[in-house]
Amino acid sequence: MEPSLPFYILATLSVFSALMVVLSRKPVHSVLYLIFCFFTIGCHYLLLNAQFLFAVHIIVYTGAIMVLFLFSIMFINMNKESEPHKNTLIKIAAGVLAGLLFLVLLEATKGAETLGPPSPNESYSTVANLGKVLYGQYLLPFEIISIMLLSAMVGAVMLGKKSVD
């Protein structure tokens, strides 16, 4: 099935904003473009008829994580003078590495099977079905991930406490 017009509009927007994250001069602008980028990616989930994923993506990434990001960027006063300048060799090495990583990603996604947009009546993406799959078929990985998140959270609290004292 051919991708629809909304997909092309959204895809253009997300690629544009992703580029602007790297290209804009002010750090706050970069973060705002990143927020917009996450938002458009969330909208891609809507096109795939996964409303729950869309909502969670918006709430968690766009709403919570990026607010904290914006927070810290606003507090750090980043000036052009204080920006450390790397030498040319490191810049070239970083460019080559990033290009190689991009190639690996391209290779990995090339073989993946293409999924067409599902029909609107398909119910696999409802919350109830998602819950059944998570708590039935994938119970063990789900629990392990939650323990990992918990330990990360405890660690973060410990680190935060140390810096206050």
Partner 1 sequence: MEFILFKLVLVISVFVASLLIAMYSTYGERKIAAFFQDRLGPNRAGPFGLLQPLADGVKMFMKEEIIPTNADKALFILGPCVMMMTACMTGVVIPWGNSLIIGGQEYMMQITDINIGILYVFGVVSIGVYGIMIGGWASNNKYSLMGAIRGSSQMISYELAMGLAIIALIMTTGTLSIREMVQQQHGAHWNVFYQPLGFLLFIICAFAECNRTPFDLPECETELVGGYHTEYSSMKLGFYLFAEYINMFISSAIIASLYFGGYNFPFLSNLGLSHNALSLLGTAVFFGKIFFFIFLFMWIRWTIPRFRYDQLMHLGWRIMIPLALFNILLTALVVLWRSGQLG
What residues line the site for partner 1 (CB under 8 A)? 26, 28-29, 32, 35, 39, 51-52, 54-56, 58-59, 62-64, 67-68, 70-71, 74-75, 126-127
Least distance (Å) from partner 1 to the CB of residue 140? 22
Nearer to partner 1, 104 or 147 (CB): 147
Of all helices (H) and strands (E), which one includes residue 165? none
Nearer to partner 1, 67 or 105 (CB): 67
Least distance (Å) from partner 1 to the CB of residue 133? 17
Nearer to partner 1, 64 or 94 (CB): 64
Measured CA to CA in angstroms, residue 44 lies from 56, 57, 110, 132 at distances of 13, 11, 20, 24
Three-class SS of residue 140?
A: helix
Q: Give the whole-angstrom CA distance, residue 32 versus residue 131.
A: 33
Nearer to partner 1, 8 or 129 (CB): 129
The C-alpha torsion from 91 through 95 and 98 to 104, rounded to 10°, is: -150
Least distance (Å) from partner 1 to the CB of residue 86? 27
Q: Give the whole-angstrom CA distance, residue 117 versus residue 6.
A: 12
